[in-house]
Amino acid sequence: MTIQLSYEVVKNDFFKAGEASSNIKKVLRQLGIPSDLIRRVAVATYEAEMNIVIHSDGGEIILLVTPEKVQITALDKGPGIADIEMAMKEGYSTAPQEVREMGFGAGMGLPNMKRCADEFEIKSSLGNSTEVTIIIRI
Ligand SMILES: Nc1ncnc2c1ncn2[C@@H]1O[C@H](COP(=O)(O)OP(=O)(O)OP(=O)(O)O)[C@@H](O)[C@H]1O
Ligand SMILES: [Mg+2]
């Protein structure tokens, strides 16, 4: 059995932000995925979703569940990341002041995603889309 679902994520829409990750959490519960795995998926997905809201021009989160794994792909429309190694560092953030005032911008999202994942991959370059793939083995 394989399930694939995708959720649109809109740039700067802080009202709807978090919906994709909370919907994915519900789906995984219904599928009977163990709760410790769901927690890791939910944390990583929420961080990926907020990065699309805050740092990108919008995109989508794609959930793939197979008997072996839960895979989250966060794909956006740009503007891309110039220096991925820098972006992966704890504490590095380009979040603007008004977003920091909402409690984001600690520069912990990407390192957290990596910590939650069994496999983590980020593909990006300046002027292009960013694609983050997070795999959690079942
Ligand atoms: N989808 C994206 N598109 C463009 N740049 C991104 C994207 N995701 C992350 N970045 C860049 O990488 C930096 C680090 O991201 P990370 O999620 O670790 O921290 P943050 O989003 O700034 O703060 P936090 O996640 O702690 O609220 C961001 O500040 C931004 O410059
Ligand atoms: Mg972030």
| Ligand 1 proximity of 95 Cβ (cutoff 6 Å) | yes
CATH superfamily of 3-137: Histidine kinase-like ATPase, C-terminal domain (3.30.565.10)
**Ligand 1 pocket, 106 CB below 6 A?**
yes
pLDDT of residue 19: 98
Give strand pairing partners of 121.
133
- How far does the centroid of ligand 2 lie from the alpha carbon of residue 1, in Å? 32
Position in ligand 1 atom list of the atom nearest CA 90:
18
Angle at 22 between CA 81 and CA 64, to 5 degrees: 65
| pTM (predicted TM-score) | 0.98
Q: Which atom of ligand 1 is nearest to the CA of 47?
A: 25
Which ligand 1 atom is nearest residue 94's CA?
A: 29
Per-residue pLDDT, 106: 98
Q: What is the pLDDT along the chain (138 residues), one digit of tens a residue?
A: 899 999 999 999 999 999 999 999 999 999 999 999 999 999 999 999 999 999 999 999 999 999 999 999 999 999 999 999 999 999 999 999 999 999 999 999 999 999 999 999 999 999 999 999 999 999
d(CA 18, CA 111): 19
Closest CA to 54 of 12, 91, 111, 106: 12
Contact status, residue 64 vs residue 70, Cβ threshold 8 Å: yes
Name residues with Cβ closer than 5 Å to ligand 2, which is an ion: 51, 109
Is residue 96 a contact partner of residue 107, using CB atoms and an 8 Å limit?
A: no
Residue of minimum CA distance from atom 9 in ligand 1 = 51
Contact 32, 3 (CB under 8 A): no
3-state per-residue secondary structure call for the chain: CCEEEEEEECCCCCCCCCHHHHHHHHHHHHCCCCHHHHHHHHHHHHHHHHHHHHHCCCEEEEEEECCCEEEEEEEECCCCCCCHHHHCCCCCCCCCHHHHCCCCCCCCHHHHHHHHCCEEEEECCCCCCCEEEEEEEC
pLDDT at 1: 86
Among all bound ligands, the one having the nearest atom to the CA of 107 is 1
